[in-house]
Amino acid sequence: MGGRISSLVFQPPSKRSHINSTKYIILPTSKGNRIPAFYFDRSAHITVLVSHGNAEDLGMIYDQFFDFSRQLNVNVMAYEYSGYGRATGSPSESNCYADIDAAFKYLVEIKKVVPSRLVLLGRSIGSGPSCYLAERLALSGTPVGGVMLQSPVLSILRVVLPDLRWTWWGDMFPNVDRVKRMECPIFVIHGTRDEIVPFRHGQDLFLATPVQWRARPLWVEGGGHNDLEGRLRQEGTYFSCVLEFLREWCSGEGGGHRGLHGSVY
């Protein structure tokens, strides 16, 4: 899709968050942009690569994912999208893919992370680059250890055309097609009252996932688009649910498909 559509889809924060430059890495992308990223090293078995949501940047999620890394004892890397925060360039689907590729390259070449020990976490629009990378690596014979999709989209057009039955040419982030080829455990989290990305997107992504890769989904009763973590953290269930997925599916201790009907918290 062209720049006009991209300007409607991508919504960088109107005010960039403050960044302490000593805490960030600068990554070059294949599109010629330079994007900041941060990495929390716990010398852990699992590394989580975060693709954040729309209308936020790295400065807004830094403390949250420092806590995530500490609570779960996992390494965490998050990167910025081109045109967001302090990153150069303009937001677009292709730039998002180049951005996550740059982050993945850093993890593999500098941090020596192997794909089987990498878990991708995509929130909202971040589900797009996460599914892209998971599919790309699966098709190359090196699938990631798992994918967590929080408030994900089936595709961008399906947000505004809910009855669309197939992916049109030019649609952005066709996650519903990609989950069929990702060859890794997929954990979907979605609020039943999401006002931006309808709950049906999470449900249909779960159903589109091959049965052997379906981790038990988490449907958050009454949850909206931006309050899921707050609700679950208040109830003390957020980290326990993520930890359950990591232990059962991504640590090498689990296997086979588990309960497939979902949990409501």
Catalytic residue ranges? 124, 194, 225
- How far CA 17 is from CA of 87, 93, 112, 117, 157, in Å, comes to 12, 23, 30, 31, 30
Structural tokens at position 129? 């680059």
Query: Which backbone phi and psi does 118 adopt, to 5 degrees?
Result: -110, 130
Using alpha carbons, select from 189, 176, 252 the residue that is nearest to residue 215: 189
Radius of gyration of the chain (CA): 17
3-state secondary structure of 157: helix
Outline where DSSP puts E strands in 131-231.
146-150, 186-191, 218-220
Measured from the Cβ of residue 219, the count of other Cβ atoms closer than 10 Å reads: 19
255 Cβ contact partners less than 8 Å away, ≥ 6 residues apart: none
Outline where DSSP puts E strands in 142-198.
146-150, 186-191
- Give the integer Cα–Cα distance in Å for 244 and 2: 40
Helix or strand run (H / E) with residue 226: none
